[in-house]
Amino acid sequence: MARRRLRNPRDLARLPPALSGRPRRIPRPRPHRAAGGKKNNYFFSGARSGEPGRLADRWSLPDWLETTLERELGAQAEAFCAAVAVPGPVCVRANRLRCTRVELADRLARDGIETRPARLAPDGLVVTTPRPNLLGSECWRDGWFEPQDEGSQLVGLLVAPRPGEAVLDLCAGAGGKSLLLAAPERKVYAYDPDADRLDRLEARAARAGAGIDVGPPRDADCVLVDAPCSELGTLRRGPDARWRIAPTRFPRLEALQREILETAARHARRRLVYATCTLRREENEEVAAAFEAEHPEFTRAGAPLKLLPHLDGTDGFFAIAWERRGP
Q: How many whole angstroms separate alpha carbon 205 and alpha carbon 182? A: 9
Q: How many whole angstroms separate alpha carbon 219 and alpha carbon 138? A: 37
Of 91, 99, 139, 277, the active-site residue reads 277
Closest listed residue to residue 216, CA positions, set 166, 269, 168: 168
Residues 6+ apart with CB under 8 A from 280: 68, 72, 229, 230, 232, 250
Q: How many whole angstroms separate alpha carbon 60 and alpha carbon 321? A: 35
State the distance between the two ends of the chain, measured CA to CA, in whole angstroms.
Answer: 108
Q: Residue 296: phi, psi to the nearest 5?
A: -65, -10
Residues 6+ apart with CB under 8 A from 198: 172, 175, 190, 192, 214
Q: How many whole angstroms separate alpha carbon 254 and alpha carbon 259? A: 9
Rounded to whole angstroms, the maximal C-alpha distance in the chain is: 109
277: annotated active-site residue? yes
Q: Reduce the DSSP state of residue 297 to 3 states and report it.
A: coil
Q: How many whole angstroms separate alpha carbon 183 and alpha carbon 205? A: 12
Closest listed residue to residue 319, CA positions, set 187, 171, 117, 97: 171
Closest listed residue to residue 324, CA positions, set 262, 264, 270: 270
State the pairing for strand pair 317-324/305-307. antiparallel
Compute the residue count for the chain.
327
Please identify every residue annotated as catalytic: 277
